[in-house]
């Protein structure tokens, strides 16, 4: 763990992230000591800081390079966290824009290729995501609904689950974004009320546009998923996982997903 550019074995108590969840984070794939899509992750982090009234630090890039030089990784995960300082004050009111900067590096095994090629079983979580437009899209550290949802099913049998909002809108996977293939079009849920606008999600949208696949952000309900030709999840660590079964509903196609996988495969398996 690195704290404000220095390797540490203990963390400060002057931190609203662990006490109140007043923090943002990014989880980044590292291949051959190079963070994948680092600029995009840092840009999302900066946008989150602007939304929450926190200071983004340009020191992060140099600190990440120094950390990876000290701890090279063939395949790993870099976790960045910006957590607001408390400045010795209690209560909810943010007393400062200053943040602690944390970096954590760990080894990582790329998920089984069979998930990429053969698809996964998934489920609709009973835990719902709260709708809060002021927080929608950003990757803040308040993730208790996702934790509860992940505890609903065995992650070996069900590697990913689907989460709805409190108004029953389809939002995302527990730790991923969702795409729906229907009649040659690609649809992904709007994230203006809940959910995280993932970096991999943006890459999939951009590639689909390059390939001439129509893609739209829309409101989706469960009935839309049951009428769809295919579903798949994506995030920066797992890549693209087609869904072959959602609870008792089966999908026979993954045509659009396979097209997109060809353009992005080298990121995870190159």
CA-to-CA dists, residue 252 to 139, 187, 247, angstroms: 33, 18, 14
Question: Is the Cβ–Cβ distance between 129 and 166 less than 8 Å?
Answer: yes
* pLDDT digits 0-9 by tens, 119-169: 999 999 999 999 999 999 999 999 999 999 999 999 999 999 999 999 999
Confidence of residue 270 (pLDDT cuts 50, 70, 90): confident
* pLDDT digits 0-9 by tens, 10-33: 888 889 998 899 999 999 999 999
pTM to 2 decimal places: 0.95
Element (H, E) at 173: strand 170-173
Confidence of residue 95 (pLDDT cuts 50, 70, 90): confident
Half-sphere exposure of 187 (CA within 13 A, CB side): 20
CA-to-CA dists, residue 163 to 26, 72, 150, 235, 243, angstroms: 20, 35, 10, 15, 14
* pLDDT digits 0-9 by tens, 221-253: 999 999 999 999 999 999 999 999 999 999 999
Question: Is the Cβ–Cβ distance between 181 and 229 less than 8 Å?
Answer: yes
**How far apart are the C-alpha atoms of 224 and 231, rounded to whole Å?**
11
Closest CA to 26 of 203, 196, 259, 258: 196
* pLDDT digits 0-9 by tens, 105-129: 999 988 789 999 999 999 999 999 9
């Amino acid at each position: 763990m690195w704290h404000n550019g220095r390797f540490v074995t203990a963390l400060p108590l002057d931190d609203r992230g662990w006490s109140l969840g007043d923090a943002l984070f990014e989880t980044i794939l590292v291949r051959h000591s190079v963070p994948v899509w680092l600029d995009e992750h840092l840009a999302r982090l900066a946008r989150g800081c602007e939304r929450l009234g926190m200071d983004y630090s340009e020191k992060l890039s140099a600190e990440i390079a120094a950390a990876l030089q000290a701890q090279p990784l063939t395949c790993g995960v870099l976790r960045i966290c910006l957590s607001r300082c408390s400045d010795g004050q209690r209560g909810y009111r943010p007393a400062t824009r200053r943040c602690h900067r944390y970096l954590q590096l760990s080894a990582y095994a790329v998920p089984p290729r069979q998930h990429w090629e053969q698809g996964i079983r998934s489920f609709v979580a009973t835990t719902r995501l709260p709708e809060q437009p002021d927080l929608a899209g950003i990757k803040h550290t308040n993730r208790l609904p996702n934790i509860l949802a992940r505890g609903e099913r065995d992650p070996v049998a069900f590697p990913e689950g689907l989460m709805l909002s409190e108004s029953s809108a389809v939002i995302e996977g527990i730790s991923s974004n969702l795409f729906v293939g229907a009649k040659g079009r690609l649809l992904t849920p709007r994230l203006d009320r809940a959910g995280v606008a993932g970096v991999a999600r943006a890459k999939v949208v951009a590639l689909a546009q390059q390939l001439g696949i129509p893609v739209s952000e829309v409101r989706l309900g469960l009935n839309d998923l049951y009428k769809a030709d295919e579903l798949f999840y994506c995030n920066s660590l797992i890549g693209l996982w087609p869904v072959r079964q959602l609870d008792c509903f089966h999908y026979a196609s993954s045509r659009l997903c396979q097209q997109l996988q060809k353009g992005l495969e080298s990121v995870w398996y190159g």
